[in-house]
Chains A and B, each alone.
Chain A
Amino acid sequence: MHSGPLLKVEHVTMRFGGLVAVNDLSFEARKGEITALIGPNGAGKTTVFNCVTGFYKPTEGMMTLTHDDGSSFLLERMPDFRIAARAKVARTFQNIRLFSGLTVLENLLVAQHNVLMESSGWTIGGLLGLGGYKAASKASIEKAKYWLDKTRLIDRADDPAGDLAYGDQRRLEIARAMCTGPLLLCLDEPAAGLNPRESLELNNLLRSIRTDDGVSLLLIEHDMSVVMEISDHVVVLDYGTKISDGTPKQVQSDPRVVAAYLGVEDEEVEAVEAEVGIL
């Protein structure tokens, strides 16, 4: 499975005025692995995501994404849409952002914009009926079908995305991100609001994306049943700082993580703080 790092985050700091949302964070997401980013509310997980996908520019630090052919991209220097188009990083959003007025199929076709744009000769060839636009258009529908099958949305293909149930919308957002042909898929709380059966199904989908489609994943998740079950590597954040990094087992038994997540009894605070090395 694993080999070199796909995404390397080094000393990333993000400040909003006086607030330090992410403080000197370094971690790696390796090829063919599911990396989970966890932490209590307000730990800065989504900020890290927004930095990686270019929606924020980090105040300091470096983020390198390396493709199989050895070409590498410095994400902090690229605008957001180019990160998706060139560096091949796709993402979903914590509060679902679908094109609700477009149909399910159209949502997946929009995701293949760059491929189709090229094959349509930047619109001019396609408008005149020249070039391979027809073939590319057919291929794009096949690709959409593949993902609709995989996310069990094929029967809803011609319905507006806004009409789907919540769980279906979550899966559609993943399918749409996958249609951009990414190497790294960033999922922001994909299991939020899903029932246990749906989140089990999500586990299988994410595993299949990793194994069958060969796409690495970086996910933010609160649902520990998802995190511990499927991730190969977990990074724990608290107050913008990395407090633990390792396999799910290692992280689970890390006293700092336990302290951050569960808190401790009042009388034990000092003992635990001394143990974990906080002030």
Chain B
Amino acid sequence: MAKANNRASEQTAIVEQGLAPALKEAAFAALVTFGLCIPIVAWGTRQDLNNRLILDQRWDAVAWAVLIVFIGRLLVSLNKQRRSAGGGPLVSMPTALVPAMARLLPILAPLAIGFLFVFPIVAIFGSGWQGSIKWIDNFGVQILIYVMLGWGLNIVVGLAGLLDLGYVAFYAVGAYSYALFATKVIPATYPALGVWAFWICLPVAGLLAAFWGVLLGFPVLRLRGDYLAIVTLAFGEIIRLVLINWVDFSGGYAGISTIPRPSFFGIPFNASDSGFAAVFGLEFSPLYRTIFLYYVILMLALLTAFVTIRLRRMPVGRAWEALREDEIACRSLGINTTSTKLTAFAIGAGFGGVAGAFFSARQGFISPESFTFMESAVVLAIVVLGGMGSLWGVAIAAVAMIGGPELMREMDLLKPIFGADFDPTKYRMLIFGLAMVVIMIWKPRGLISTREPTAFLKESKSVSGSLVKEGHG
């Protein structure tokens, strides 16, 4: 892998040597930053109590931004020079770390899954009975939802190479299927099934989302690349707009509330005599439901990973990857590319739908606000940053992208540095963007770009990311 990296950097051709060109590049980048910062950072307006508009000036922030960009660009330039001169990179940590990580992965997998299983216990011991809800719910459940979404989208984007910008549509289909079935259909037909609603609707939501995946798949079969991205994006918006405007069906902006929460296989989590706590002789606490939800989403996410791993070794999974590499060659080998694309859309969408059903059961309330384009963008960013096709990369990226901003809320230790009114959560989008830029410079093919072969004769050698295609539609 290191060899492949070297080869890739050789291909980046001649880089001018010396400090002067590096300084020049850095100065130019700083100038661009300065230009961009004037309207965005330097001047801000606010209204005072008398409704007067006041212009704030923040030249110190501009200076910081310019300085950071200057130093960052200088380091990147010098690093590039070092590499092209044949020397090791200035910052050598990444290249040394990645092969080591790849070797550790087989041991890391059981460790990581083991940690996920004991995480609620760790949280309870770490922050007490009440404090642990935040950790299990905001971190555990929230991150795992996005891990599952990322793994679902990974089938479409990472394996089959079909750029889907409307993945949130299937998340919404799943969420609304559960919400509508559980609040309207089941009480009207078989009210006795009420406590089982979640378990019945989970597969139904997945199937409905998969069905919508096929419905979307049909019209976009002929489209590739940018065109496919735009149409899928539009599809995501259409679903959201229908949910907003078809008030009789979905409740419009008001959404759907009092969605039944999941039961412990028929035993509800409430304070009643037949509730979970009473049945098991425990004192009632909302924590039980949170822990239960955590394990449910953990199992669902692991199921997604398991199915993906199995499918990759099946003819259909190989056909997806072959489709990503070369569609025309696929057809010359007798592969029906239409059904191959549709299965990728359907299975990816199905997992999105199951995640959506879980989301609505966990929230108890959903509205179209939860299914904006931003969600699609975040999930796609997770897949791209993680490395398309890599389950590990997607999981790590989900932890970083979702857990990172959540963790920033906890960063009280930054207050002494930046002042008492420093609110770290306000900077999450800035850091989000910064992380993207860093990844694109450092690992343009995502955190884990190597591809593991699905079959081997003698030894399994991972394929360098530079050979793996990204797909073109």
Asked if A113 is an interface residue, CB under 8 A from chain B, the answer is: yes
Q: Check if A193 is an interface residue, CB within 8 A of chain B.
A: no
Residue on B nearest A54 in the bound complex, by CB: B331
Q: A91-B332, A109-B318, A110-B319 are in contact. Are A102 and B456 (CB under 8 A)?
A: no
Q: A123, B311: Cβ atoms under 8 Å?
A: yes
Residue contact A53 to B332, C-beta cutoff 8 Å: yes
Stretch in B188-196, B224-232, B457-465 with 4+ CB within 8 Å of A = B457-465
Chain B: which residue is nearest A92 at the CB level? B332
CA distance A176 to B343 in the complex (A): 24
B322 close to chain A: CB less than 8 A: yes
Main secondary structure of the interface of A (DSSP, over half): helix
* B335 sits at the interface (CB 8 A): yes
Instruction: Give chain A nearest CB distance to B45 CB in angstroms.
Output: 51
Given the known A-B contacts A127-B310, A158-B456, are A101 and B333 also in contact in the complex, defined by CB atoms under 8 Å?
A: no
User: A184 to chain B: closest CB distance in Å?
Assistant: 13
Proximity string of chain B (442-469) to chain A, C-beta cutoff 8 Å, 1 when within and 0 when not? 0000000001011111111101100111
A-B contact count (CB 8 A): 140
Instruction: State A99–B454 Cα separation when bound (angstroms).
Output: 14
Contacts known (A113-B315, A127-B310); A101 close to B335, Cβ less than 8 A: no
Residues A99 and B455 in contact, CB atoms below 8 Å apart: no
Q: B455: shortest Cβ distance to chain A, in Å?
A: 6
The reply to whether A163 and B467 contact each other, CB–CB distance below 8 Å, is yes
Q: Which of A100-151 contact B (CB under 8 A)?
A: 100-103, 105-106, 109-114, 116-117, 120, 123, 126-127, 133, 141, 145
CB distance from B53 to the nearest CB of A (A): 56
Bitwise, B235-259 to A at CB < 8 A (1) or not (0) is: 0000000000000000000000000
Contact residues in B for A83 (Cβ distance below 8 Å):
334
Residue among B324, B453, B468 having the largest count of chain A Cβ atoms under 10 Å: B453
Distance in angstroms from B160 CB to nearest chain A CB is 13
Residues of A within 8 A of B311 (CB): 123, 127
Do A101 and B334 touch across chains, with their CB atoms under 8 A apart?
no
Interface residues of B in 412-467 (CB under 8 A from A): 451, 453-461, 463-464, 467
How long is the Cα–Cα vector from A256 to B118 in the complex, in angstroms? Answer: 82
Say yes or no: A157-B457 contact (C-beta < 8 A), given A99-B325, A101-B325, A101-B469: yes
Known interface pairs A55-B332, A113-B334, A120-B316; 6 further A-B residue pairs with C-beta atoms within 8 A, sorted by A's residue number: A83-B334, A84-B334, A90-B332, A101-B469, A103-B456, A117-B315
Instruction: Give me the 4 closest cross-chain CB pairs, A-B, nearest first.
Output: A101-B468, A85-B334, A84-B334, A99-B325
Q: With A and B bound together, what is the CA distance between A157 and B455 in angstroms? A: 10
Contact: B315 with A97, CB < 8 Å?
A: no
Q: Indicate if B329 sits at the interface (CB-CB under 8 A).
A: yes
B321/A101 in contact, CB under 8 A: yes
**In the complex, A240→B457 CA distance in Å?**
46
- Given A123-B311, A158-B453, A106 and B318 contact (CB-CB distance below 8 Å): yes
Closest to A107 in B: B322
In the complex, the answer to whether B314 meets A158 with C-beta atoms within 8 Å is no
CB of A160 within 8 Å of the partner chain: yes
Closest B residue to A114 by CB, please name it. Answer: B334
Q: Are A116 and B457 in contact (CB-based, < 8 A)?
A: no
CB neighbours of B331 from chain A (8 A)? 55, 80-81, 84
Tell me the bound Cα distance from A82 to B337 in angstroms.
11
Residue of A nearest to B337 (CB): A81
Known: A100-B469, A101-B468, A127-B311. A158 touches B332 (CB 8 A): no
Interface hub of B331, B336, B469 (most chain A Cβ within 10 A): B331
Q: In the assembled complex, which residues on chain A have CB atoms less than 8 Å from the CB atom of B467? A: 100-101, 160, 162-163
Closest to B315 in A: A116
A106 touching B333 in the complex, CB below 8 Å, given contacts A100-B469, A113-B319, A163-B467: no
In the assembly, what is the distance between CA of A154 and CA of B458, in Å?
10
Q: In whole Å, how far is A53's beta carbon from the nearest beta carbon of chain B?
A: 7
A239 beta carbon closer than 8 Å to chain B: no
Query: Which one of A82, A105, A120 contacts B314 once the chains associate, using CB atoms below 8 Å?
Result: A120
Cβ contact of B318, chosen from A80, A110, A158, cutoff 8 A: A110
Write the A64-83 contact mask toward B (1 if CB under 8 angstroms, else 0).
00000000000000001111
**CA–CA, A58 and B322, complex, Å:** 28
Rounded to whole Å, the gap between the CB of B323 and the closest CB of chain A is 9
Tell whether A123 pairs with B456 under 8 Å between CB atoms, given A84-B334, A93-B329, A100-B325: no
**Neighbouring A residues of B461 by C-beta, 8 Å:** 103, 158-160
Minimum distance in angstroms from B333 CB to a CB of chain A: 5
B85 at interface, CB cutoff 8 A:
no
A243 at the interface (CB under 8 A from B): no
Contact present for B314 and A90 (CB under 8 Å)? no
B182 to chain A, nearest CB (A): 28
Q: In the bound complex, do residue A102 and residue B333 qualify as a contact, i.e. CB atoms below 8 Å apart? A: no
A180: interface (CB < 8 Å): yes
- Is B328 part of the binding interface, using a Cβ–Cβ cutoff of 8 Å? yes
What does the 1/0 interface line of B287-320 toward A look like (CB < 8 Å)?
0000000000000000000010011001110110
Closest CB-CB distance, A122 to chain B, in whole Å? 8
> Is B10 located at the chain interface by the 8 A CB criterion?
no
